[in-house]
């Protein structure tokens, strides 16, 4: 598993992208055992892979070889080398997962992205994002293909039907890697989360489409809306899913569901060769994934300058600056309005940039998100949803500080915080006066 990032809200995929199959292919059991979670650094220090786990290849396993041949034929990709596979117990598989997260995602990135969610009230004040995501992964992981060591890891207790569903998807990843070297494509790149997310959605959508061809005869027989509902319901109904904020569940399934829709659009356009071509001309944004017609014409996202944090005063620094993207925006809006309304309101996304400000001395955080929509009407539509949640005037919150929504022509700015975190929760430390000044400064820095 490599460091891959979704947008602000698709943090799950930052910790578990191509190599981590969480929602498909195995439906979750509603009685999944609860497992303790801890911060990644601590987990990495205490979790070691078991020595001597036996590794075989398709040359040693006739059944695996037959499945690999079927996958290669279906996906129309060559088998260029042996595929390595090993089975691990759940604890060992989880230990390897945690170790990879600690090695490949810069320390603190997941939690800083989580502050975006906290600032907007999308997760409980006391929710530990990284711990929660690792707990979700640990309960849902079935296996993964690791591009680093070219090995497929599977749980050793999979039922036959589960193995039959998991194996093709993972073998697609192995063949993707042999033809397109997917590992480097998915490396973490600072400030490019939305683009990395789009690439991950291509990779997962490709594998999901091929897997459905094998499972159902044709992926085109799968209803995309029903698939979305099925993934959402199955994940939410699991024990750990019931303890996970819905916005994170939405981000977990997006690479599979929205990625699948993108893959299907490419296949309709030009078959598997169109998907092969997408690895050479990678999608530039989740907007292109959600609107394949924009991928075909190579519509690029608008570049928005990094928001300044100077209005917050001495001691605050920009802890993370990144791009939310249309997927991130839609996932946010889905928590405040109906999915169809959220989808339509996010569809006019043109570009954005956000900053999480941090004051280390007092453990304070604040958020500024500057989004430029395609048209003024698009900005109006987005603003209606945001104001429906936060109001038209500055809203003071005792725990998370002030939140302000401001529209100017095609631009929509949201600032939230600052707030201080401690063992007892959160306490707002900002004022509406400072929040208003921050908004004004942000708008003044970006020409209309």
Q: pTM here?
A: 0.89
Asked whether residue 169 falls in the same domain as residue 289, the answer is yes
Asked whether residue 315 falls in the same domain as residue 289, the answer is no
Q: Give the residue numbers spanning the domain of 56.
A: 11-295
Asked whether residue 333 falls in the same domain as residue 289, the answer is no
Asked whether residue 271 falls in the same domain as residue 357, the answer is no
Asked whether residue 412 falls in the same domain as residue 371, the answer is yes
Classify residue 394: in a domain, yes or no. yes
Q: Residue-wise pLDDT tens for the chain (448 aa)?
A: 333 333 333 333 333 333 344 434 333 332 332 222 223 333 333 334 445 568 889 888 898 999 999 999 999 999 999 999 999 888 888 788 778 877 878 888 988 999 999 999 999 999 988 888 878 877 777 888 999 999 999 888 888 888 888 899 999 999 999 999 999 998 888 999 999 999 999 999 999 999 999 999 999 999 999 998 888 888 888 888 888 999 998 998 999 999 999 999 999 999 999 999 999 999 999 999 999 999 999 999 999 999 999 999 999 999 999 999 999 999 999 999 999 999 999 999 999 999 999 999 999 999 999 999 999 999 999 999 999 999 999 999 999 999 999 999 999 999 999 999 988 789 999 999 999 999 999 999 999 8
Classify residue 405: in a domain, yes or no. yes
Asked whether residue 131 falls in the same domain as residue 188, the answer is yes
Asked whether residue 286 falls in the same domain as residue 431, the answer is no
Quick one: tokens of 359?
A: 């004051």
Asked whether residue 135 falls in the same domain as residue 257, the answer is yes
Contact partners, residue 15, CB within 8 Å, separation at least 6: 101, 105, 110, 130, 133, 134, 137
Tell me which of 242, 267, 295 is where a domain ends. 295
Classify residue 25: in a domain, yes or no. yes
Q: What is the radius of gyration, based on Cα positions, of the chain?
A: 22
Classify residue 301: in a domain, yes or no. no
Asked whether residue 54 falls in the same domain as residue 18, the answer is yes
Tally the domains of the chain.
2
Classify residue 42: in a domain, yes or no. yes
Tell me which of 267, 295, 323 is where a domain ends. 295
Asked whether residue 39 falls in the same domain as residue 165, the answer is yes
Total length of the chain: 448
Classify residue 334: in a domain, yes or no. yes
**By three-state DSSP, how is residue 410 classified?**
coil
Classify residue 3: in a domain, yes or no. no
Spatial separation of the C-alpha atoms in residues 145 and 155, rounded to whole Å: 12
Asked whether residue 289 falls in the same domain as residue 371, the answer is no
Classify residue 302: in a domain, yes or no. no
| Sign (positive or negative) of CA dihedral 28, 208, 215, 89 | negative
Asked whether residue 22 falls in the same domain as residue 156, the answer is yes
Tell me which of 295, 328, 363 is where a domain ends. 295
- Phi, psi for residue 151 in degrees, rounded to 5: -130, 140
């Amino acid at each position: 598993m490599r460091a891959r990032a979704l947008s602000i809200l698709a943090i799950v995929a930052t910790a578990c992208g191509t190599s981590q199959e969480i929602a498909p292919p195995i439906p979750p059991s509603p009685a999944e055992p609860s497992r303790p979670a801890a911060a990644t650094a601590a987990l990495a220090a205490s979790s070691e892979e078991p020595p001597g786990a036996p590794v075989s290849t398709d040359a040693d396993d006739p059944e695996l070889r037959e499945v690999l041949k079927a996958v290669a034929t279906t996906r129309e990709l060559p088998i260029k080398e042996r595929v390595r596979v090993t089975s691990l117990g759940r604890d060992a598989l989880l230990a390897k997962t945690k170790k990879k997260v600690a090695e490949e995602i810069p320390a603190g990135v997941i939690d800083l992205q989580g502050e975006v969610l906290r600032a907007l009230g999308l997760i409980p004040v006391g929710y530990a994002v990284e711990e929660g995501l690792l707990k979700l992964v640990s309960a849902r992981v079935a296996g993964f293909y690791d591009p680093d060591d070219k090995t497929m890891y599977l749980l050793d207790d999979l039922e036959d039907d589960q193995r039959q569903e998991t194996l093709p998807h993972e073998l697609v990843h192995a063949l993707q890697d042999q033809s397109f070297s997917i590992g480097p494509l998915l490396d973490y790149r600072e400030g490019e989360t939305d683009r990395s997310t789009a690439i991950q959605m291509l990779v997962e959508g490709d594998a999901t489409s091929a897997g459905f061809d094998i499972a159902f005869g044709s992926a085109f027989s799968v209803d995309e809306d029903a698939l979305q509902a099925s993934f959402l319901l199955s994940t939410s109904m699991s024990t750990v899913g019931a303890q996970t904020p819905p916005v994170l569940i939405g981000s977990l399934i997006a690479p599979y569901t929205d990625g699948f829709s993108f893959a299907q659009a490419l296949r309709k356009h030009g078959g598997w060769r169109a998907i092969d071509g997408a690895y050479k001309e990678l999608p530039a944004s989740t907007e292109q994934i959600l609107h394949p017609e924009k991928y075909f014409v190579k519509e690029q996202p608008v570049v928005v300058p990094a928001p300044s944090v100077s209005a917050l005063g001495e001691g605050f620094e920009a802890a993370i600056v990144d791009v939310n993207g249309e997927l991130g925006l839609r996932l946010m809006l889905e928590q405040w309005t109906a999915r169809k309304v959220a989808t339509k309101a996010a569809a006019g996304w043109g570009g954005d940039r956000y900053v999480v400000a941090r004051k280390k001395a007092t453990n304070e955080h604040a958020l500024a998100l500057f989004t430029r929509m395609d048209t003024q009407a698009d900005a109006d539509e987005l603003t209606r949803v945001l104001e429906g949640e936060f109001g038209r005037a500055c809203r003071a919150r005792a725990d998370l500080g002030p939140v302000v929504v401001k529209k100017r022509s095609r631009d929509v700015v949201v600032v939230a915080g600052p707030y201080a975190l401690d063992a007892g929760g959160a306490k707002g430390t900002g004022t509406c006066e400072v929040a208003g000044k921050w908004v004004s400064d942000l708008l003044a820095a970006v020409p209309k």
